[in-house]
Structure 1
């Protein structure tokens, strides 16, 4: 994937939210490549079982703590070369129901991490941004320099993250890279709870022969992005040496659109290979969710040009791997 992968063995990397869905996949990949990994998590949405396999690894350290506590952030950043900041309260509906907590974690916590990075002289701060930042912009595909107005408190927090990162670069010369994730899915993503993402939720419902509930008429589309593509770009963001690639924000996606109706069809077809009766399950349709963007589709040219990002997984290829993992873990 990259000529400098060996360099990771020289680095100490902090992954905030390292027991979460994306964070635990990053920890796993970095440990396999020989990096020293510190995981910071308060287990509010992260899960211990996501990191059980690393606890005996001498290269892995777990810090149980909250990014809303500056002292915890300072401690976690000591002698660290790179920070992958994944800790956040996700979910648009959660932010609509509880904007204050979303703000405290996603903005106050983010600012704490930036201050800790500044004080510890960390080389680079790579953070999870979000496609929700595109807000009410109707332009497709989405390009990084053209955004609309946010449609949810969550989207506000993720846009503020980008603004803070830019200000900290200009004011304190901190190097940052923001990764605007588009609907990431894959192993370790929790199918349970009120704020579960659509793919694991649908897979679990179909496995149990329950009718998946689609918000709206199923015509809304997403640029669903398999987790391995996200891991790839985070590693590229650590290793990139081109100064022009730093202090930028990038779309992280496949660059293809899938409607929710198409998604259900693909899931049924692939799950039917395990149990043919799943092909008979039909979805039900509910009201459109407040704060939802109708369509998201990313232009990934910038990430390709500056980071050499080259997504290896299309939606269908990623769904095949994800379904296999859920089938083995949910049954």
Structure 2
């Protein structure tokens, strides 16, 4: 790893970060990967054998000294470190602000001291909030409904400001419901796909908040990693936010059906009250993404779910748990029609 691009990934021991580290380590243009993570939501276990090939720095993005060391001579910084989850931010808005907004500002200041590497940073479709338009375009006004969404809007604004004031090359990316292997369940703020897979493999019902007609633009983590890797190797920049999703739209009830098809079972469903801060529908307008990254294609949902289920099954085997529930076929719960 002596030659090639030098890339620093904050949050590199998390779900998206660890997948990205694998992509970068295997790209011929990349020479060194440095990871910064305090492992508060991630785990070095997710890096697996890749850990030995990285320069791993344990600590917080709120530590300027650590960031200065991690960004020394970096060509690009991918800022993924964050405190995720809308419900968590509703319970503790200050923690979300510190980790996400102040954390981003600390990273940008370190990048400025490091002579201006490209900074690619993760925002979220949650910034659209109550914006009723579908699909969601970057030209639409953001109407955030949660402290988490506000903190991600601040991330975008800070990147744009640092480009304008200091000429820093930046790329803010709005993630839309990213799922895939290495996304963990087993904690109160787990995302819907791993949470449901974990429940199904343990023969527990899946919980749907609301009536299940709400829809999401589910994006496989491989698509995210492909776009970010291309941004680094081709030095793609934009001071304006870019939707990182391809305009698919899946209702939660349809997701129940497709996950059941992958597992070969009928999922049991329990409904609960809608959660504060959740949005009803999320679908990206991919025009700006495709302009910057032509040829980007979505991983089919069934294919992405199959890879995700396989990873969870492998983890259960490693943890000494049953691999999967007994296979049985029956009609899926109704209604389950997809949207769009």
Q: Same fold, TM exceeding 0.5?
A: yes
| Residue of structure 1 in register with 2:40 after alignment | 44
Determine if the alignment matches structure 1 residue 323 to structure 2 residue 328: no
Q: CA RMSD in A?
A: 1.4
Residues 135, 284 of structure 2: 8 Å contact kept:
yes
Helix, strand or coil at the partner of 1:12: strand
| Residue of structure 2 in register with 1:178 after alignment | 172
Aligned length: 314
- Structure with the bigger percentage of helix: 1
Moved over 4 A (4+): none
Residues 118, 235 of structure 2: 8 Å contact kept:
no
> Aligned match of 1:217 in 203, 208, 211?
211
Determine if the alignment matches structure 1 residue 97 to structure 2 residue 91: yes
| Residue of structure 2 in register with 1:263 after alignment | 255
CA distance in 2, matches of 1:229, 1:294: 24
> C-alpha displacement at 1:311, in angstroms?
2.3
CA distance in 1, matches of 2:235, 2:46: 31
CA distance in 2, matches of 1:45, 1:13: 21
> C-alpha displacement at 1:241, in angstroms?
4.8
Helix, strand or coil at the partner of 2:52: coil
CA distance in 2, matches of 1:254, 1:90: 22
CA distance in 2, matches of 1:92, 1:240: 33
Helix, strand or coil at the partner of 1:51: helix
Determine if the alignment matches structure 1 residue 27 to structure 2 residue 41: no
| Residue of structure 1 in register with 2:151 after alignment | 157
| Residue of structure 2 in register with 1:131 after alignment | 125
Determine if the alignment matches structure 1 residue 14 to structure 2 residue 8: yes
Residues 199, 206 of structure 2: 8 Å contact kept:
yes
| Residue of structure 2 in register with 1:190 after alignment | 184
CA distance in 1, matches of 2:151, 2:302: 31
Residues 9, 33 of structure 1: 8 Å contact kept:
no
Residues 83, 122 of structure 1: 8 Å contact kept:
no
1:321–1:175 CA distance, 2 compared to 1 (3 A): same
Tell me the TM-score normalised to structure 2 length: 0.89
> Aligned match of 1:121 in 110, 115, 118?
115
Helix, strand or coil at the partner of 2:116: coil
Which sections of structure 1, spanning at least 5 residues, go unmatched?
1-7, 273-277
Which sections of structure 2, spanning at least 5 residues, go unmatched?
317-322, 324-340
| Residue of structure 2 in register with 1:275 after alignment | none
CA distance in 2, matches of 1:20, 1:123: 22
CA distance in 2, matches of 1:241, 1:28: 19
| Residue of structure 1 in register with 2:195 after alignment | 201
